[in-house]
Amino acid sequence: MRIGIDLGGTKTEGVILDGAGKELIRRRYPTPRAEGYEAILNTIGFLVEELDQFAGHQCTVGVCTPGAVSQVNGCLKNSNTVCMNGRPVASDLENLIGRPVRLENDANCFALAEAIDGAGKNAGSVFGIILGTGVGAGIVINRTLFKGLHHIAGEWGHNVLEADGPQCYCGNQGCVETFLSGPGLVTEYVRQGGDAGVDATAVAARAMYDPTAGEALNVFLDRFGRALAMVINILDPDLVVLGGGLSKIERLYIEGRQRTALYVFNEDFRTPIVSNNHGDSGGVRGAALLWPE
Ligand SMILES: [Zn+2]
């Protein structure tokens, strides 16, 4: 049996999947962010012990986290739980729980879960996108995560879409993430004269009757199309699956798709763009699936 751990900024969640991918148990604890690195590791250790006890034996362990593991020194980087950055999280966890640990970026875990037994289970190649507070993506080919030389494959959120766009934390300007994240949609709404006190879901809902929100969403959908067409032209995946809070915007699947078609270098555009099957569980399931059956 396989344990998946989703190490989030506010909660740490663990599941056990059986050989068929069925979830047997789920446990959730607050992430002790304020207490620091050791406390966070100990929470994972405790969770693994509890899940092992349920299973009656030692399970394999996969962990999903924001950020990425450096190919140079094995340390985590770019995590929003900043006390984890610069730490060899996987090897420290291995020492703590006494077995190998596979650790992977949350967007990669999302893409893997959807490709294996989610919305993309019948597709040979899947591009999985998270549109949330940030924008991340992962590539799965023949049910295997494609990581790339620098282990950054799928980091489409930091492709520059408009060179004169907003400053991104990564150092570039006008990254896809600065436009297609929740804060990106709100920024566009405010730029058009809208009210700064609303979130992205509210902007999308207001688009029905508020012309300012309508225009912000229109610009958002066009940027989505331009950004995704670049991926299609390079990877040409069999399916694109969307996750994260903004994946609930229905118009992405109709107008977002039509805009993508405008920019793709082909006269017809057949790539399905679909919503996810696993909802918020994609990350934790994908973490468990980092180990084969
Ligand atoms: Zn960036």
Note the pLDDT tens digit of each residue in 160-212: 999 999 999 889 999 999 999 999 999 999 999 999 999 999 999 999 999 99
Q: Please report the pLDDT score of residue 281 as a whole number.
A: 93
Q: Please report the pLDDT score of residue 71 as a whole number.
A: 86
Token pair, residue 54, equals 């349920």
Confidence bin at 225 (pLDDT 50/70/90): very high
Q: Above 90 in pLDDT, residue 282?
A: yes
Q: Please report the pLDDT score of residue 16 as a whole number.
A: 97
What are the domain boundaries of the chain?
2-108+281-288, 122-276
CA of 90 to the centre of ligand 1 (A): 25
Instruction: Find the helix packing angle between 182-191 and 211-235, rounded to 10°.
Output: 130
Strands (E), the chain: 2-7, 11-17, 23-30, 60-65, 68-69, 76-77, 101-105, 125-131, 135-141, 144-146, 239-243, 273-275
pTM, entire model: 0.95
DSSP annotation of 196: T
Q: Which helix H or strand E contains 67, and what residues bound it?
A: none
Q: Please report the pLDDT score of residue 1 as a whole number.
A: 93
Nearest Cα to Cα of residue 288 among 24, 11, 9, 8 = 24
Q: Please report the pLDDT score of residue 188 as a whole number.
A: 97
CA of 248 to the centre of ligand 1 (A): 23
- Fold agreement between 2-108+281-288 and 122-276: yes
CA of 245 to the centre of ligand 1 (A): 19
**CATH T-level topology, domain 2-108+281-288:** Nucleotidyltransferase; domain 5 (3.30.420)
**Looking at residues 88-97, what average pLDDT do you find?**
96
CA of 156 to the centre of ligand 1 (A): 9
CA of 168 to the centre of ligand 1 (A): 5
Residue 146 to residue 247: CA distance in whole angstroms: 23
Residue 176 to residue 134: CA distance in whole angstroms: 9
First to last CA, the chain: 8
Q: What is the mean pLDDT of the chain?
A: 95
Q: Above 80 in pLDDT, residue 293?
A: no
**Looking at residues 138-155, what average pLDDT do you find?**
94
CA of 98 to the centre of ligand 1 (A): 37
Residue with tokens 């959908």: 221
CA of 226 to the centre of ligand 1 (A): 17
| CATH code for the structural domain at 122-276 | 3.30.420.40
CA of 170 to the centre of ligand 1 (A): 4
Question: What are the residues whose beta carbons fall under 8 Å from the beta carbon of 193, sequence distance 6 or more?
Answer: 212
